[in-house]
Amino acid sequence: MTPEHELKHLDDGPEPDELPSSSESLGLVRFDVHCTHNAEEVLSKAKEVLRRVVAQRPAGWPTLEQWIELLPEWFVRECAPEETKEEAERHMRWLRTLPWDERARISEQERWSLANWLYWFEPKQRYWYWWDDVVESPRLIRIAVQVRDWPFPWDALKWLFRACGAASVTAEE
């Protein structure tokens, strides 16, 4: 999906008869974004961030310092502080000492650093693209993303919504 096409989907959604291109993707994956009575606000904030990321071109990809200026200040503040390599290694060693279920619970609740989050939006790392959304209620947003590989990493999508105020994001079954 081209950036222009994804921006159109962020702003207007797909055309009524539009289907994902089979040459560009494996299809759509749907998610439920659970909110605490603020679904419209959460979706608006997520789209605000994504528009700024998607609008960047692969040639001249911004530096971390430039991203801090490009992205909304509230989003940058929601991200965890950047860690040194030593801090990250120490954290990973500690996580590995925990039982799997505890590790998963902690990983689900941790904030992402801006650099870690942005990594998954670098052109070579993109595995999903915005397709559509609908606010079902003040507590629920349903979104669809076009994926180009399966399985695909979607934790950056979850962090985006959590940073925007969502309680959780689950894949639709």
Closest to 110 measured CA to CA, from 48, 76, 158, 62: 158
pLDDT digits (tens, 9 = 90+) for 57-84: 888 899 999 999 999 999 999 999 887 7
The whole-number average pLDDT for the span 111-119 is 91
> Of 60 and 164, which is predicted with more confidence?
164
Cβ-contact 146, 126 below 8 angstroms = no
Which residues is 33 bridged to in the sheet? 141, 169
The whole-number average pLDDT for the span 117-134 is 92
Confidence of residue 103 (pLDDT cuts 50, 70, 90): confident
Q: CB within 8 A of 4, min separation 6: which ones?
A: none
Does the model's pTM come out above 0.85?
Answer: yes
| Predicted pLDDT of residue 173 | 66
Over 80: is that where the pLDDT of 89 sits? no
**If you compute the radius of gyration of the chain from its CA atoms, what whole number of angstroms results?**
16
Beta strands in 3-159 (DSSP E): 27-34, 128-137, 140-147
| Residue 61 identity | W
The whole-number average pLDDT for the span 52-57 is 94
Mean pLDDT of the chain: 89
| Predicted pLDDT of residue 98 | 78
Residue with tokens 């689950």, as numbered in its chain: 170
| Predicted pLDDT of residue 5 | 92
